[in-house]
A and B are shown apart, each in its own frame.
Chain A
Amino acid sequence: MNDPTSLSLTQTIDGLAKKSFSESDLNKAYGDRIKKLNPGLNAFLEVKENSKGIPAGIKDLIAVKDMQMTCGSKILEGYTAPYNATVINKLIDNNVSFIGKTNLDEFAMGSSGENSAYGSAKNPWDKNKVPGGSSSGSAAAVAADLCTFALGTDTGGSIRQPASLCGVVGLKPSYGRVSRYGAQAMASSLDQIGPLTKTVADARKVLEWISGPDAYDSNCVKSYFKSTKRLKDLKGITIGIPKLKNQKGSDAGLDIGVLGVMEKAYQKLKELGAEIREIDLPHTEYALAVYYIVMSSEVSSNLARYDGIRFGSTREKFGDEPKRRIMLGTFALSTGYFDDYFIKAAKVRTLVKQDFEKAFEKCDVIVGPVSPTVAWNLGEKISDPLTMYLSDVYTIPASLAGIPGLSVPCGFANDLPVGLQILGKYLDEDTILSVGELYENATDWHKQKPRLQAPERSNGGQAKL
């Protein structure tokens, strides 16, 4: 094996065990690839080659001791984490090393990567396009084979959406499945750390590593994630598809090309034996509004610690998006507005959560698009915050309910990747991973890699799009 960088995590573990290559070879190969490709992709903000371990990219708002943690912001330029996040300790226990901290929208606020104070990461499929956000660097790094896998965080879609736009797998675990200790909080009641990987089996492996009860996070569930399902096909599985407001694709700006890819994906699921059923999630029209009130309220409080005294610069170094959300959240919590905004949103959140509970009485998983569009041009949506917010419309409801969500590559529209979102019951990552795995094995989308100028590969280069 000449170049192990194209291997999945599972293949890498296997290759190391078989001694097809050493850990040192592995890290050098990824290191060389990063040196060559990162300048053009800006996926990594800090790179640190090790000679040992399986190299992973870590979103730069997760604390890795003695490495930087900018949170994509100028306010934390120069900050060095004095402790490890819980997930980092768990990865270390599983022979993972950290080849770099990945780029992100500032404080996880964004859906394109363009809100990074260190320049946007680029989409490896087309460097003029956004990679998605906020885990922009993590998605780009995995898509470009700059690491074996990466960790991101998902609050309203920040793992699933960039995974979809970059053609990789992204998993948002159930809320409380993975400890949040060590990740700068965005919205405390919504955030989850999760994997971005080359295959669904990889995502399952990483989830096994990073999940579990934690003495530092009181919201972490006590039970352990167990992989029990081994589905041969989807017979016996009922898949719910929420009815779109307008099948002609004008639902929340759903692109016709994306709709076409989705329909082929649903067809494939049917071929695999699944029963498809239309379901109704009547309150999802309110989900975006609920999200922006709840999330920004929690954000306004979570970012109050940035006073420049114990760490960081003073508050004027926040970028525009953090300032906007802090203002919005402060307003929603303020006297005279708290009941009408924060409490109202928290009540409607209950309705959104109940929608899913009712739907899951009739189906095992819910599928649909991750993003209304494929990757758009850098600079295209950045001037209007509200337009940007609308790109999260499919991912937000699951975050509000706390249920798990997987994004799996399911095709291309205009030569750019499209992701299939698979949502499951609370704590049922097992089923969504199994459905995802079956779909992935029955298709070849995950084998396609972006065309990038790179060191020669012995297996003959990239797939044509």
Chain B
Amino acid sequence: MKYEPVIGLEVHVELNTKTKMFCACPADYFDKEPNTQTCPVCLGLPGALPYINQEAIEKCIKIGKALNCDIADQSLFERKNYFYPDLAKGYQISQYRWPLCVNGSIKVTDKDGEKLTIGINRAHQEEDTGKLSHLNGETFIDFNRSGVPLVEIVTEPDFTDTEQIRDYAKKLQWIVESLGVSEANMERGDMRLEANVSMRPVNQRELPNYRVEMKNINSFRFMVAAVEYEIKRQTKALEAGEELHQETRGWYEDEKVTYLQRSKEEANDYRYFPEPDLPSLAVDRNLVERLKEEARMAHPETKIEYLVNIRNLTPVSAATIIRQGALSYFEQVVEPLEEKGFPAAGTASIIINKRIDRINTSPEDFIAQVVRQKSQAIDDRGELEKIVQEVIAENKKSVADYKGGKENTIQALIGAVMKKTSGRSDAKVVKSILEEKLK
């Protein structure tokens, strides 16, 4: 019997609002003295009450819209009840039956380059816990992080391999960063990933009757390793005729194995019930429309389309410019350089490859540098022709487009040559060589 993986992902995104989810303490807790950014609310003192941060709601809706979700007409917060030292109130204010965003989707690419649509079950709002550290059998707690807004994004169990997971994480991080709703720094903990893994017989349509939750795995690399290990472990167990159950497992990096953290019997009964301290949310449809449009404008795909169609960059260059956060810088230098004979694609290459210090190099300085470098251009036509040949071989699609009539694609090819020559060739010369070779 052959088995296939059935994987769902839960990602927690920490929002970059100024204040916390339910109180007005500053939300930027990084590198602050412990317990200096708390109040009765986020410290869970007797008598404290929550009050919803409007900005957090809007950021959650933007994330939902960027993932093509519907925004609920009526949304309620609920209490998730469990005990843990980092959970000040003994419950987390979260969402359960009435999440803010539902039924979205996102496309990811798998190891064969095939595109796959991943269903987004929900994106909902909740609050973060305090931070624990351990030493000598004691646990220390800092509540500066307690109450910071989180958006939890839950996919349908549509993943089947770890390449898709990698792509999803990359895309999600990118979207969230582009929307400006989070710094999305996985090392810092702004974005945390959890996977649910199970296996089912290849021809079965129904979901398996169990799933293994992979939790508290603090690096993306380890999470991927853990998922791959789980796929093998579960397959082996099922092939041996074992019955698998609901479990929570962690990852031992040294031994490179997953281990049992909590069995089904020990699973928490969260006793969700509607948060009585908070009235319901009935988000105004005009607001949703506005946020939808803002999300669309900020979405990396929108920006990529712009760079490819208007600035004639390759999709790869376009994506890199955006991921590096260099879009506005690029926009400031691209036209002046075009006027001086430097194509946009080349400009993009230089920004990307030369790792220009955009903070300390003003756009004017950058333009001057580029012009200066041209004087160190490659003159040897033979060398240039060799490079052009390489570029033609490596960019079959762009060549086909050009030959098929999309003349502007030559810009992309020029850019590729510029990249290979570190910008030291004359664009006009390169263009003429290309035109000759592509006749």
Measured CB to CB, the residues of A under 8 A from B are 61-63, 69, 71, 76, 79, 81-83, 85, 180-185, 187-189, 215-219, 297-298, 300-301, 303-307, 309-311, 330, 333-335, 338, 342
Contacts and interface: CB of A to CB of B under 8 A. Distances in A.
Nearest to B267: A335
B137 interface: no
24 contacts: A63-B46, A69-B47, A71-B46, A82-B40, A82-B45, A83-B45, A180-B47, A181-B47, A181-B49, A184-B46, A185-B47, A185-B277, A215-B51, A217-B277, A218-B279, A301-B90, A301-B271, A307-B83, A307-B90, A311-B45, A333-B81, A333-B273, A335-B269, A342-B273
Interface residues of B, number: 28
Interface string B132-151: 00000000010100000000
Nearest to A298: B276
A273 B100 CA distance: 54
A309 B46 contact: no
Contact of B85 (A63, A307, A333): A307
B91 interface: yes
Given A189-B276, A219-B277, A333-B81, A304 B91 contact: yes
A299 to B, nearest CB: 11
A189 B274 CA distance: 11
Contacts of B40: 63, 82-83
A385 to B, nearest CB: 22
A169 to B, nearest CB: 25
A19 B79 CA distance: 53
The 10 closest A-B pairs by CB, nearest first: A304-B90, A333-B271, A188-B276, A189-B276, A184-B46, A182-B47, A305-B44, A305-B89, A63-B47, A305-B90
B377 interface: no
Contact of B47 (A184, A187, A304): A184
Contact of B269 (A82, A85, A310, A334): A334
Contact of A310 (B43, B47, B51, B79): B43
Contacts of A81: 46-47
- SS class, residues of chain B in contact with chain A: loop
A309 B141 contact: yes
Interface of B: 40, 43-52, 79, 81, 83, 85, 88-91, 141, 143, 269, 271, 273, 276-279
A71 B88 CA distance: 19
A307 B85 CA distance: 8
B144 to A, nearest CB: 13
B43 A62 contact: no
A399 to B, nearest CB: 13
Interface centre among B49, B83, B277 (most CB of A within 10 A): B49
Interface centre among B47, B49, B90, B91 (most CB of A within 10 A): B47
B45 A310 contact: yes
Contacts of A185: 47, 49, 277
B44 A310 contact: yes
A330 B270 CA distance: 10
Given A62-B47, A304-B83, 7 more contacts: A79-B46, A82-B45, A188-B276, A217-B277, A219-B277, A301-B79, A330-B271
A62 B46 CA distance: 9
A182 B43 CA distance: 13
Nearest to B277: A188
Contacts of B269: 334-335
B23 to A, nearest CB: 9
A342 B97 CA distance: 15
Contact of A304 (B46, B49, B89, B277): B89
Nearest to A308: B85
